Amino acid sequence: MTGRENKSHPHFADMVGMAAIFAAGVITGTSFAFVQTTERAVGSPSPPPAASQSAASLAVPSGGRAAAAPLSAEMRVLAAIWKVETDCGRNMKHGDGGLAAGHLQQHEGHWRRGCEYLGVDWPWPEDTADLVKCRHVALANWHRDARAALEHGDVEMLARTFRLPNDPFRKDNDEYWRKVRKELTTEAQR
């Protein structure tokens, strides 16, 4: 029974997904302190963050301060991808001819693989409007496709694998990496 059908335990899918993320972090030594759920796996997606939200605030819980701790490699890359893909949520049009949706412009196959890994049933494209869910899905896919890059903080491999998990060094991915690298550099200079 999925979280959508089981009305008596609406948080079960989220709990299973969070347990998978935590277990993966324990196994790999990756910190998932930024992971938080904004809602149950059922219902409508959370509203997109305010356009004024900075990319650096992605990992900071409410009431926290961005200067308190440096962002992990995966959070820095997610912030840069968010900027490249949707200008931090300011341009949420579907990309790739309607095949990509949401804050990180994720394709349906990418979304479903990540949800499967997390053990959740978040609908695509509806829940791609929830930035936190998008980050969960991206991170889950990196655990599947680029675990070594996560462990070593290899931001280039994370960015390339996000876009083309089966062929990250394909020639047409070089321009994507340049865009993400530019955002990483810009953010580091702030």
**pLDDT, tens only, 77-95:** 999 999 999 999 999 999 9
Determine what percent of the chain is predicted with pLDDT higher than 90.
Answer: 60
Q: Is the pLDDT of residue 125 over 50?
A: yes
CATH code at 12-35+69-189: 1.10.530.10
Q: Tally the C-alpha atoms within 13 A of residue 134's C-alpha that lie toward its C-beta.
A: 32
pLDDT of residue 69: 61
Pick 29 or 136 by higher pLDDT: 136
Angle (CA) 74-59-53 rounded to 5° is: 115
Q: Is the pLDDT of residue 7 over 50?
A: no
**pLDDT, tens only, 137-172:** 999 999 999 999 999 999 999 999 999 999 999 999
Q: Where are the domains of the chain?
A: 12-35+69-189
Residues in the chain: 190
pLDDT of residue 101: 97
Answer positive or negative: Cα dihedral of 156, 157, 163, 168: positive
Residue 72 · residue 153 · CB < 8 Å: yes
CA 90, CA 98: separation in Å to the nearest integer? 17
Q: Is the pLDDT of residue 64 over 60?
A: no
Q: Is the pLDDT of residue 17 over 90?
A: no
**pLDDT, tens only, 33-48:** 444 333 333 333 333 3
- Band the pLDDT of 66: cuts 50, 70, 90: very low
The mean of the pLDDT values for the chain is 75
Nearest to 31 by CA among 80, 63, 69: 69
Q: Is the pLDDT of residue 74 over 90?
A: yes
Pick 1 or 81 by higher pLDDT: 81
